């Protein structure tokens, strides 16, 4: 079974702190994604990565950066956390083999609270 693991289920940080959210997948998937989930807004794409060292901005990249140094790991970085970044963060991955329709596999989410 595909497994997408997010390192922290719950985090509490202070305004201005640097925050790292780690995501690891074990199925050699090329594509990885970071979404944030907020009530009534659904999932909004922050960044995605086609492959190692490649990244693309999603719909709400402001205040975030990402790193993909190894194929299995995709990190989301909040350089200076703010209270409006309090949210649930979901990582996902999928393969490009077989075309565009590959299923997205999700981690269980990281709930970040910024005080």
Partner 1 sequence: GEDVEQSLFLSVREGDSSVINCTYTDSSSTYLYWYKQEPGAGLQLLTYIFSNMDMKQDQRLTVLLNKKDKHLSLRIADTQTGDSAIYFCAEIYSSASKIIFGSGTRLSIRP
Q: Which of 67, 85, 74, 73 is nearest to 17 (CA)?
A: 85
Q: What part of residues 16-75 is at the interface with partner 1 (CB under 8 A)?
A: 31, 33, 35, 40-45, 48, 50, 56, 58-59
Nearer to partner 1, 43 or 77 (CB): 43
Using rule CB under 8 A, residue 98 touches partner 1: no
Backbone angle region of 104, left / alpha / beta, with phi > 0 → left and psi within -120 to 50 → alpha = beta
Nearest to 37 by CA among 77, 86, 83: 86
Read off the DSSP letter of residue 28.
-
CA distance 50 to 111: 25
Q: Does 107 bind partner 1 (CB under 8 A)?
A: yes
List alpha helices for the chain, DSSP H.
none
Query: Is 90 among the residues that bind partner 1 (CB under 8 A)?
Result: yes
CB of 64 to partner 1, least distance (A): 15
For partner 1, the closer CB: 17 or 52: 52
Residue 96 in contact with partner 1, rule: CB under 8 A: yes
Binding positions for partner 1, rule: CB under 8 A:
4, 31, 33, 35, 40-45, 48, 50, 56, 58-59, 90, 92, 96, 100-101, 103-104, 106-109
């Amino acid at each position: 079974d595909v497994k997408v693991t997010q390192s922290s289920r719950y985090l509490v940080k202070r305004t201005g702190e640097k925050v790292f959210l780690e995501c690891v997948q074990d199925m050699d998937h090329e594509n990885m994604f970071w979404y944030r989930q907020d009530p009534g807004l659904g999932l909004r794409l922050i960044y995605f990565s086609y492959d190692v060292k490649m990244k693309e901005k999603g719909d709400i990249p402001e205040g975030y950066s990402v790193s993909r140094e190894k194929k299995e790991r995709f990190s989301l970085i909040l350089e200076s956390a703010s209270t409006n970044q309090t949210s649930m963060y979901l990582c996902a991955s999928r393969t490009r083999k077989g075309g565009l329709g590959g299923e997205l596999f999700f981690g269980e989410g990281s709930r970040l609270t910024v005080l």
